[in-house]
Amino acid sequence: MILRKSAHRFETVDYDKQLFKDYVVNQTKKDKNGLDTESAKRIVNAFDFFNAYFSDKDETYLLKMLETVQNASCTTHPVKDESEAIQMFIFQNNRGKKPSNLEIIKAQFMFNVHLFGGEEKEALIEEIKSRFEKIYKSISSIEYRINEDEVLTYTLRVHFNSLWENNAIDKINSLLSEANPIPFIKLFTQSLATSFEHLTTFFGKDERENIEIHSLITLGGIGIAIPFIIKAYSFGLSTQQISQLCNKLESVVLRHRLIGTRADITSRLNGVYKEFTADNPDINPIIDRINWLKVTQDWWWAYWNDTELERALQGGINHPTAKYLLWKYENHMENQGKSGYTPTRFDKIEKPELEHIAPQTDNPESGYDKYDEEFVNQYINCLGNYLLLSKSHNCSVGNKPFADKRNSYNHLEQQREIQRMTTENIQWTRELIQSRKEKIVEFIMENV
């Protein structure tokens, strides 16, 4: 059914065509190497799924399934040309899932090129197809970090030089409705390809080789930072400069998360963002703005200053952020008095979890302070009582007496710190929790 003599009756997009023939039709390819696009991975996974599913079915079942497929009918919508086919994709798409904004934008670009491309039409179509082939390969390599519609929005903010740009479909539709949309299509397609190319480097090679970039990506929720990053790569800044920029952007993202203010950070950064251009690729104004936000007392800007940060660190902190802070604290402790120290990556800690040294549930006569109202409300859920452990370690210590836990605290430097703090008296008290909290808060205030 798929192959009649030497003629292939079914095909996929050009860049997956050879894989489809080799893996599905002819079955000459057995490995899963070189799957550059997400669609290629889906083709392979789908074939493997059905191959495994049908492998233990008897002949009667298989013949029945074959007959069902042979007798099936398809609803067809004849179209006159490619532009009408593109309209079908945009307005009557029914593949069981909603197309992404990026897919819609690509289809709209192709449709407008068919209508207004003139003598350039064929060349423009090939250019768009070529750029999107690279884009889809980039999506495959970074999709677990960031999705394609997010990159579309960030590209919009870079292309129009404003952090306020948000609705890609509406913005692009308004531009396509102008007299001659072709110049915009060419420029924006190039901007998209450039963004995906730079983010592939950022989330790939550079993240693996630079701790500052790894640290920002590990923090997550960095949408405000990504347009700055794309610009920095586009302007040809060195990896050292990009790492420095990441360090400062991490600081403002982390403060915003810890403090939890409803104040809008975009309006405070948009000015320096707009001034960060190819003609003025200096990162110092951005760094100066972020540093100033930390100390200013001006009411409109002061939501992220040191006073607000220190206040936010006194109570409980959500667990993912607390784990992140303790990872930073771990590197700080390991670096003390050591030259040439290489920081530990977050992903080198085996399934990191947050341990409550004094358990959240009282364990009588177990080496912990008295579980009175003050201890439960002020000391259990605070940085001084949090500890970074691997998942297996955390499961093994559970709600055990402090002496048992203490004996197991020998994997990370912050665990050994607990041992040192309790050498004279194997008791985990509120005074020790407060002392450790003050030490961690001091580190954060100096480094965030």
Q: What is the pLDDT of residues 299-320, one digit of tens each?
A: 999 999 999 999 999 988 999 9
Instruction: Read off the pLDDT of each residue in 214-218 and give the average, rounded to a whole number.
Output: 97
Contact 306, 294 (CB under 8 A): yes
Assess whether 204 and 266 both reside in one domain: yes
Q: Provide the CB-side half-sphere exposure for 393 (13 A, CA).
A: 23
Contact 247, 222 (CB under 8 A): no
Taking the C-alpha atoms of residue 270 and residue 318, their distance in angstroms, rounded to an integer, is: 28
Taking the C-alpha atoms of residue 379 and residue 37, their distance in angstroms, rounded to an integer, is: 50
Predicted confidence (pLDDT) per residue in 257-309, tens digit: 999 999 999 999 999 999 999 999 999 999 999 999 999 999 999 999 999 99
Assess whether 249 and 362 both reside in one domain: no
CA 43 from centre of chain: 25
- 245 located within any domain: yes
Domain span at 326 = 318-447
What is the b/e burial string over 181-198, where b = at least 16 CB atoms within 10 angstroms of the residue's CB?
bbebbbebbebbbbbbbb
Contact 308, 261 (CB under 8 A): yes
For 447, the enclosing helix (H) or strand (E) is helix 430-447
Sign of CA dihedral 61, 62, 68, 71: negative
- 338 located within any domain: yes
Taking the C-alpha atoms of residue 145 and residue 349, their distance in angstroms, rounded to an integer, is: 19
Above 60 in pLDDT, residue 154? yes
> What is the reported pLDDT for 191?
96
- 194 located within any domain: yes
DSSP 8-state secondary structure symbol assigned to residue 178: S
Nearest Cα residue to 153 out of 143, 140, 163: 163
Above 70 in pLDDT, residue 4? no
Percentage of the chain with pLDDT > 70?
89
Strands 3-4, 7-8: pairing is antiparallel
Assess whether 269 and 214 both reside in one domain: yes
Domain boundary among the residues 14, 33, 57 is at 57
- 50 located within any domain: yes
Assess whether 164 and 259 both reside in one domain: yes
Range with the poorest average pLDDT among 324-333, 353-362, 425-434: 353-362
C-beta pairs of 45-52 under 8 Å, 24+ apart in sequence? 47/23
For residue 185 the two structure tokens come to 């299509």
Rounded to two decimals, what is the model's pTM?
0.83
Residue in the structure block whose two tokens are 């080799």: 22
Split at pLDDT 50, 70, 90, the class of 59 is: confident
Split at pLDDT 50, 70, 90, the class of 379 is: very high
Contact 270, 164 (CB under 8 A): yes
Beta bridge partners of 352: 390
> What is the reported pLDDT for 435?
96
The SS3 of residue 368 is: strand
> What is the reported pLDDT for 400?
85
Percentage of the chain with pLDDT > 90?
59
Burial of 57: CB neighbours in 10 Å, binned 0-12, 13-18, 19+: exposed
- 98 located within any domain: no
Domain boundary among the residues 280, 305, 330 is at 305
Number of domains the chain is built from: 3
Predicted confidence (pLDDT) per residue in 424-444, tens digit: 999 999 999 999 999 999 999
Instruction: Read off the pLDDT of each residue in 159-181 and give the average, rounded to a whole number.
Output: 94
Above 60 in pLDDT, residue 89? no
Above 90 in pLDDT, residue 338? no
Assess whether 174 and 236 both reside in one domain: yes
Taking the C-alpha atoms of residue 34 and residue 37, their distance in angstroms, rounded to an integer, is: 9
> What is the reported pLDDT for 260?
93
Above 90 in pLDDT, residue 24? no
Q: Which residue has the higher pLDDT, 432 or 137?
A: 432
Above 70 in pLDDT, residue 107? yes
> What is the reported pLDDT for 81?
63
- 273 located within any domain: yes
Strands 352-356, 7-8: pairing is unpaired
For residue 138 the two structure tokens come to 């980039």
Split at pLDDT 50, 70, 90, the class of 88 is: low
Assess whether 430 and 408 both reside in one domain: yes
- 68 located within any domain: no
Q: What is the mean pLDDT of the chain?
A: 88
Assess whether 187 and 212 both reside in one domain: yes
Predicted confidence (pLDDT) per residue in 381-421, tens digit: 999 999 998 877 876 677 788 999 999 998 899 999 999 99
> What is the reported pLDDT for 374?
94
Assess whether 229 and 171 both reside in one domain: yes
Among 18-27, 39-48, 132-141, 231-240, the range of highest mean pLDDT: 231-240
Assess whether 203 and 278 both reside in one domain: yes
Above 60 in pLDDT, residue 95? no
Taking the C-alpha atoms of residue 179 and residue 424, their distance in angstroms, rounded to an integer, is: 81
What is the b/e burial string over 272-303, where b = at least 16 CB atoms within 10 angstroms of the residue's CB?
bbeebeeeeeebeebbebbeebbeeeeeeebb
Split at pLDDT 50, 70, 90, the class of 21 is: confident
- 70 located within any domain: no
Residue 357's contacts (CB-CB under 8 Å, 6 or more residues apart) are: 385, 386, 387, 402, 405, 418, 428, 433
Q: Which residue has the higher pLDDT, 88 or 10?
A: 10
Assess whether 362 and 292 both reside in one domain: no
Assess whether 209 and 349 both reside in one domain: no
Taking the C-alpha atoms of residue 397 and residue 418, their distance in angstroms, rounded to an integer, is: 15
For residue 259 the two structure tokens come to 């403090």
Instruction: Read off the pLDDT of each residue in 9-16 and give the average, rounded to a whole number.
Output: 70
Above 80 in pLDDT, residue 339? no
Assess whether 291 and 324 both reside in one domain: no
> What is the reported pLDDT for 76?
67
The 10 Å Cβ neighbour count of residue 151 is 23
Residue type, 35: L
Cα–Cα–Cα angle for 413, 422, 417, nearest 5°?
10
Domain boundary among the residues 242, 277, 305 is at 305
Taking the C-alpha atoms of residue 401 and residue 403, their distance in angstroms, rounded to an integer, is: 6
Distance from the first to the final alpha carbon of the chain: 63
